[in-house]
Copies of this chain bind each other. A is one copy, B any other.
Amino acid sequence: MLVNRMLPTVSAENLTQFETLALSSSMNLADGHARQQLTAAQSKIVAELPDMWAEAAVRPVDEIEQEAAESFFGMLGQHSHPFAAGRTLSCYSSSLAMEILARSLVTTSDAVALIHPTFDNIPDILRGVGLRLVPVEEEQAHDEDLPAELLEQVGCVFITTPNNPTGRVMSEGRLRRLAEQCAEYGVVLALDTCFRGFDPDAQFDHYAVLDASGCRWVVIEDTGKLWPTLELKIGWLVRSANVDLPVEKVHSDILLGTSPLILLMVKRFADDGADGGLAELQRTIADHRALVRAELADVPDIGFVDDRARVSVERLHVGSRLGMDVWSAVRSQNLYVLPCQKFHWARPREGERMLRLALSRNSPTLLAGARVLRSALLGVPELRG
């Protein structure tokens, strides 16, 4: 049987549309949103939602917002956040924070240097507002200074750390050097740190490092990847005092504020996180990663390429198979994963032998998915390409 016969018509234009296909499936390992079960402590918080509603309805929202920020940033080891200075803006989601940043950047700049690969809504949003993109290879960003000719042609360097899908974390020393370079060239350094709750290596005080360099900076943070809160989440858009971008104005064009109920909930989840919940989550993700690797251990010609990843997604190299062939084969069994071409936004072919699996699921779902994947990998012919 030719594998190509199995290919359904797929009109997904981006990774999110691939994720949408999976939304109502019982084996959705596609999106990176948190879909594992609530822990006992989290269930207790959810049971108190009506009381939190009553509290949110009467208290000043700026007070609630500050408490949520203190708890969330504190849990991440990000102690120096500038909430009191009005530079920590809450958004409905990290992608909305990204849209606001993009719309702000394009008022002063026409090009952005962007890490490659990374989740494709980042390049799509940047391009969507009219910015030209220059790829910065992940290895390059982590291992060496950026070339002067790159820094001279862009208004912003954008880095995802930990990166999605690779999980690679920018170290404090490397961030310091990159920030110094950006300061030297007057370029904004923008970070997407949405997955840093999963990796203690990413839980140092980024803003202190950035401020010390004197560079103009923006950081996007996210509560949405960590906890299974049914898309109730906050994306934070944080900026330096010297950033000189109309971030606050564009933010106010799109929202007056986020929900005080969600902010109260975030505070409670973050307090629980600081009290052991985050470590428990990290252990759960490590267990899930081990579970998937064990289930696929004896499949020939595959590889887990991100050895040190601790984020809630895992890349699988499918060897000489094509990722889309495997994607189609498992889809016919109702399992959804993400093909990786579109992460490689500048050169999609580099991702064509990779799939991304979400680990933030219940163990039985993950195990069932891994078994379907195993059987498909054993069945999908290896192609020479």
Q: Enumerate chain A interface residues (CB-CB to B < 8 A).
A: 13-14, 16-17, 19-20, 23-24, 31, 33, 46-47, 49-50, 53, 56-57, 60-63, 92-93, 95-96, 99, 103, 121, 124-125, 128-130, 228, 230-232, 249-250, 252-262
Q: Evaluate whether A254 and B24 lie within 8 angstroms (CB atoms) in the complex, with A14-B249, A49-B49, A130-B130 already known.
A: no
Whether B125 contacts A230 by the Cβ 8 Å rule is no
Complex alpha-carbon distance, A109 and B14, angstroms: 23
Q: Evaluate whether A230 and B57 lie within 8 angstroms (CB atoms) in the complex, with A13-B249, A121-B253, A253-B95 already known.
A: yes
Whether B50 contacts A95 by the Cβ 8 Å rule is no
Besides the contacts A49-B50, A232-B232, what 15 more A-B pairs have beta carbons closer than 8 Å? A13-B249, A17-B252, A19-B256, A20-B257, A23-B62, A23-B256, A24-B61, A33-B256, A46-B50, A46-B53, A50-B50, A99-B254, A121-B254, A129-B129, A231-B260
Q: Which one, B33, B53, B128, B255, contacts A253 given CB within 8 A?
A: B128
Q: Evaluate whether A103 and B130 lie within 8 angstroms (CB atoms) in the complex, with A95-B255, A230-B53 already known.
A: no
Contacts A/B (CB < 8 Å), 18 sampled: A16-B252, A17-B249, A17-B252, A20-B252, A24-B60, A24-B61, A47-B50, A49-B49, A50-B50, A93-B255, A95-B254, A96-B96, A96-B254, A128-B250, A230-B259, A230-B260, A231-B258, A232-B259
Copies in the complex: 2
Residues of B within 8 A of A96 (CB): 92, 96, 254-255
Nearest 3 A/B pairs, CB to CB: A231-B259, A24-B60, A92-B92
Chain B nearest CB: distance from A264 CB in Å?
A: 9
Whether B95 contacts A63 by the Cβ 8 Å rule is no
CB closest residue in chain B, given A125: B253
Whether A261 contacts B62 by the Cβ 8 Å rule is no
Whether A24 contacts B257 by the Cβ 8 Å rule is no
Q: Evaluate whether A20 and B256 lie within 8 angstroms (CB atoms) in the complex, with A129-B129, A230-B261, A250-B128 already known.
A: yes
CB closest residue in chain B, given A104: B128
Residues of B within 8 A of A49 (CB): 49-50, 53
CB closest residue in chain B, given A54: B46
Residues of B within 8 A of A60 (CB): 23-24
Complex alpha-carbon distance, A253 and B96, angstroms: 10
Whether B103 contacts A128 by the Cβ 8 Å rule is yes
Residues of B within 8 A of A249 (CB): 13-14, 17
Complex alpha-carbon distance, A257 and B24, angstroms: 12
Whether A61 contacts B23 by the Cβ 8 Å rule is yes
Whether B230 contacts A257 by the Cβ 8 Å rule is no
Chain B nearest CB: distance from A24 CB in Å?
A: 4
Residues of B within 8 A of A50 (CB): 46-47, 49-50
Whether A24 contacts B259 by the Cβ 8 Å rule is no
Complex alpha-carbon distance, A231 and B358, angstroms: 30
Q: Which one, B62, B256, B258, contacts A24 given CB within 8 A?
A: B62
Complex alpha-carbon distance, A53 and B262, angstroms: 13
Whether A63 contacts B256 by the Cβ 8 Å rule is no
Residues of B within 8 A of A130 (CB): 130
Residues of B within 8 A of A259 (CB): 230-232
Residues of B within 8 A of A56 (CB): 230
Complex alpha-carbon distance, A381 and B30, angstroms: 64
Residues of B within 8 A of A53 (CB): 46, 49, 230
Complex alpha-carbon distance, A368 and B261, angstroms: 26
